[in-house]
Structure 1
Amino acid sequence: MHKNMNKLNGMDIETFVISSDSPEELRSLHNKLKKTFGSSLSFISDPQLKLIKKMGMKKNDVAYRGFAMLDKEGNTIFNTKNDHWGEEIEKTVEKIKEEYKKLK
């Protein structure tokens, strides 16, 4: 995703990676990505899976891989469970843009 962030240009959105990993693990990953790509998305540590559950992305004690969109009030607009969302980046971006247009 980091190398494809420009595909979301022109949209008034903030993008985050939400993970059940610890803050320390995410800080390490953030630093590695920043070194590789020159910048990194912000990470949110959600070890209790509270936000992940709110977004409908929780399965038992783990998070689904995929993506979701929240509105400014924190309501889930949509979610997509897809292990291959990054490999299918064009399809992913198309879905995000489609849902974003509905908010306008």
Structure 2
Amino acid sequence: MYIVSNDLPEQQLELYTALEKEFGTSISFISDPNLEVAELFEMKNGETAYRGYGLLDTEGHVVFNTINDYWGEEFDKSKEEIIEEYNNLK
């Protein structure tokens, strides 16, 4: 599980730390300055990306995506949806 962001490393660290403080854990970041991953997930929004999350299968195909501005505030709920979708792949 990763967070994909085109934010600067300092901003990524700030969010990583906030998630860790709030939930006792966080997730590693992948830098996507050109929004290539966002485009793959159909979450590109002009020069930025929609906030949300999704899942790729082992072939690199998008299994699902969810646009949700509050995924961070709803981290536990977001994580549960990802885990549920992952378990459906089995």
Check whether TM > 0.5: yes
SS in 2 for 1:99: helix
Aligned to 1:78: 64
Q: Which entry has the higher C-alpha Rg, 1 or 2? A: 1
- Cα 1:62–1:39, aligned 2, differ >3 Å: closer, same or farther? same
Partner of 1:87: 74
Q: Percent identity?
A: 44
SS in 2 for 1:43: strand
Q: Counterparts in 2 of 1:1-104, with a 5 A limit? A: 15-27=1-13, 29-30=15-16, 32-33=17-18, 36=21, 40-85=26-71, 86-87=73-74, 89-90=76-77, 92-104=78-90
Deviation at 1:97, TM superposition (A): 3.2
CA, structure 1 residues 73+22, in 2 after alignment: closer, same or farther (shift >3 Å)? farther
- Scaled by the length of structure 2, the TM-score of the pair is 0.72
Counterpart CA distance in 2 for 1:76 and 1:40 is: 23
* Gaps in structure 1 of 5+ consecutive residues: 1-14
* Structure 2: runs of 5+ lacking an equivalent: none
**Distance change (3 Å), C-alpha of 1:56 and 1:21:** same
Name the TM-score, length of structure 1 as normaliser: 0.64
Pairwise CA RMSD of aligned residues?
2.7
